[in-house]
Structure 1
Amino acid sequence: MITNKNFLTGHFISQKPGNIVSDMDGEKVMLSINNGKYYNLGDIGGEIWKLIEKPIAIDSLVNTLMSTYDVDKNQCEEHVLSFLEMLYKEDLIQTKE
């Protein structure tokens, strides 16, 4: 299990309300109403965003992505936690132990 400052793989993650998300040429783009910033989530980031619409355990999120993409568990966890950290710093997601 990989951890970082804000997350353990057993934590639950979900979107915070107040974001407008749209598809643009196959990638998810988002405007945060709360902070007035625009984000390009990309393809996989958009998939993660969709999966965290409702609270989901980070380990379940990683397992879902591993079943879709050809990636090993450690690499997937590292990338997911890094992406979630960015979303967390921008106040776009909420976490619950």
Structure 2
Amino acid sequence: MQEKKTTTALTPETVIQRSPNQHAAEIYGEIIALNHENHNYYGITGIGVDIWNAIEKPQSMAALYEQLHREYDVDEERLLHDLYQFIRELAANGMIVTLSPDQQQVEENT
């Protein structure tokens, strides 16, 4: 599989998914995740839990934004800013990967 840590610029077409190098569980509405590469634990709360659950399978940034926009009554610019900031933070900590367009096709067909 052609996965890579997210270090490139995020665009609406960027497809992301949780990294296979982590393990996470939901406890009392919070996600507790362990990155197996750096051995750090992370806590994810609030709307971050919904984002985390949505990226269990490959999602484009545009699709993720649209899903959240339908679910939350929030200013569009604020949502876009906060979503990209959160995804960049996950990427910086090795918690997500980007997928190549061919891999996305394979994932969607399985």
TM-score exceeds 0.5: yes
Give the number of the structure whose alpha-carbon radius of gyration is greater: 2
- In structure 1, stretches of 5+ residues that fail to align are none
1:45-84 residue pairs with structure 2 within 5 A?
45-84=48-87
* Cα distance in 2, alignment partners of residues 16 and 61 from structure 1: 17
Give the number of the structure with larger relative contact order, counting CA–CA contacts within 8 Å between residues 6 or more apart.
Answer: 2
- Report the 3-state secondary structure (helix = DSSP H, G, I; strand = E; otherwise coil) of the residue aligned with 2:48: helix
Q: Alignment identity in percent?
A: 28
Q: Who is 1:27 aligned against?
A: 30
Deviation per CA, 1:32-91, whole angstroms, max 9, x where unpaired?
122100000112112111111111110110110111111122211110100000011111
User: Scaled by the length of structure 2, what TM-score is found?
Assistant: 0.77
Could you say what the CA RMSD is over the residues aligned between the two structures, in angstroms? 1.5
The amino acid across from 1:25 in the alignment is Y
Native 8 Å contact 1:29 1:42 kept in 2? no
* Cα distance in 2, alignment partners of residues 41 and 29 from structure 1: 6
User: Scaled by the length of structure 1, what TM-score is found?
Assistant: 0.86
Structure 1 residue 95 and structure 2 residue 98: aligned? Answer: yes
- In structure 2, stretches of 5+ residues that fail to align are 1-7, 101-110
